[in-house]
Structures are given as C-alpha cells and as structure tokens.
Amino acid sequence: MDETHANTVPASEEKEPSVNDLAFERIRRIWDNKRKEEHVAKTHCSYCDKRGSQRKPLQTCSHCKAARYCDTDCQRADFRAGHKDECKGFARLPNTMAFQYEPNPEERFPHHPIFAHAHADDVGCVGTR
C-alpha cells in the first residue's frame, strides 16, 4: 500500500457522529450566527441597514442603547415605523423562562444587547449580559 492511502479509513469504517457531537455542532452554528447578527446590529443602521464608518459613526438610541442610526432622518423614520413602541418595552422587560430555538426573522427587535430574537409564538427572547 502506498503512503498516501496508509492513513485513510475506508468509508464503511467511518464513525458516525454522536448525538453530543451533533448537538454541539448545532449550538456552535447558532452561536456563530448570533455573533454575526450582533456584529451587523452594531455596525449597520437599524432603519436603512447602511454600514457606519469611522468618519461617520452610527448614533445609538439614548433609551434602549440597542438601535443605531446613520442620521437623524433614519432615527425619526424608524421611530415612526415602530421603534417608539419597541423602545417603550425596554423600560420594563418581561420575566420569562420560555425559550424557542427557532427565531422568527420577520420581527424587527434589536439583536443587541437586550432582545435576541422574536419567536414564532410571539414571545420575545430577552437576555442581558
């Protein structure tokens, strides 16, 4: 047998991933996606999705500290489009132990730092760091 095939395992002998391996991989993917979402939430306008820059940094909502805006026009437009009501909810956060694993991407809750996602059962997943 030549050296290139000496260390390979035949397909019939490959080990199937364990339930723990599969669960860990799923958690890792969820965590990686969450980190990407947080990065976008910190670096892009909450209303128009325009990326901020060092020359023109995004302004942060003074109440919730989660929404970010490239200019006053976007801040006002988002406030009228629903951020006003979302932002009110940050003053008194609900207490819940319920957690859904599958987020509902249709909802527009800020991804960071307080609301993680809105979920299919209309319960917001709340978390603080």
Q: What's residue 129's pLDDT?
A: 43
Of 3-17, 21-35, 68-82, least confident by mean pLDDT is 3-17
Query: For residue 22, what are the contacts with CB-CB under 8 A and spacing of at least 6?
Result: none
Q: Residue 92: pLDDT band by 50, 70, 90 thresholds?
A: low
**Mean pLDDT across 26-53:** 87
Q: What's residue 38's pLDDT?
A: 79
Residue 55 inside a domain? The answer is yes
Residue 10 inside a domain? The answer is no
Residue 46 inside a domain? The answer is yes
How many structural domains does the chain have? Answer: 1
**Mean pLDDT across 46-56:** 90
Residue 102 inside a domain? The answer is yes
**Mean pLDDT across 35-47:** 84
Whether pTM exceeds 0.85: no
Residue 9 inside a domain? The answer is no
Q: Strand, helix or coil at 78?
A: helix
Residue 117 inside a domain? The answer is yes
Residue 1 inside a domain? The answer is no
Q: Where are the alpha helices (DSSP H) in the chain?
A: 3-6, 19-43, 72-78, 84-88
Residue 11 inside a domain? The answer is no
Range of the structural domain that residue 80 is part of: 17-126
